[in-house]
A and B are shown apart, each in its own frame.
Chain A
């Protein structure tokens, strides 16, 4: 006996992502799902955002890591509000974990919720968290071959931040190749070249955020 289901395998996650998305929409909160390899500068970038524009955009941060609350602590040190999710081995965050975290964060009072996903350029991209924009970070020292090696991750992005551009002179990194490879799988994606350490290029990224979060608030 054969039964035909044609059921989405991650449907439970998708149902919960829908709930999150409805919550963010209802409360005019812009939610970013930040995905990258470990060490590409997610926490440093978010800390810098809090310091630079935290007075204009009220931000809350959901930190995902396999172990420890090191990153949540760093965000608090930068003056931000953070909730840490420890996944205890899981390589990605799920929509349900985010659902529980945003309740703790009082996210309805925020303009923006930033989810820092578990450092991993592969698995997190399969899990919709209900975000308004998916942000992929690619840092210069990781190498210029990443977009073509991880096409699925870059195909689903709304924004790509090329981070650590201050190291471009020291590393064999072909920027043109990176831009071209990203455009192959995602022609309309927004790309910003930044350094979260020196602050270079961050202004344009903030401008995009202001517009996007302003749009979320205008709907309030």
Chain B
């Protein structure tokens, strides 16, 4: 696999710039981000090539203008670590005044030790994934765009597991290889991610640079779930997607997108 070759290189590159950013920069590449996540289930349907065109067209015709819902996610980052989880803030104003049970969710990355720790629900079951860090294989493109006050460059990841095409915009000025969800491994912090042409769009809408303390510790969790390696978890996902594909049903109601 390519990744095994890239890993040491990636690690070197990382340490080089970590050293630089820590010393020469002097500025804080550490803080909290609020990401706005816009989900669109009709666009998710549209991205499923195995569901009949008739069904996808019908979903678009009936729901195309109201298939969106929004939520906020909270993200802490430093050049060494990142932590992504559900926010207490509600993006849908209609939902203010009601407190749902939050789904246990965590994407924790330790770039120093090259470790990851995730809590994700799949098929209604909770998985605790602990493994060495694995980041997507990025294709870096040349386009420039501003996100939340930062000039960003774009990169693309084609994920064969769920069939995603994820286009991200990473900040040249924030030298942190982190990002929302399980996205990481770019020379700048990922401030925007667009899954499958709008099926899910994650955008940094508030960036607060400040030194962090306990926020970046691995949270002590009482969550009960099945402990698995990344490989085992990916196998669970692969099987479920294949099953749903065979039944020509959307897989995304049973898995995190």
A binds B: no
Interface residues of B (CB under 8 A from A): none
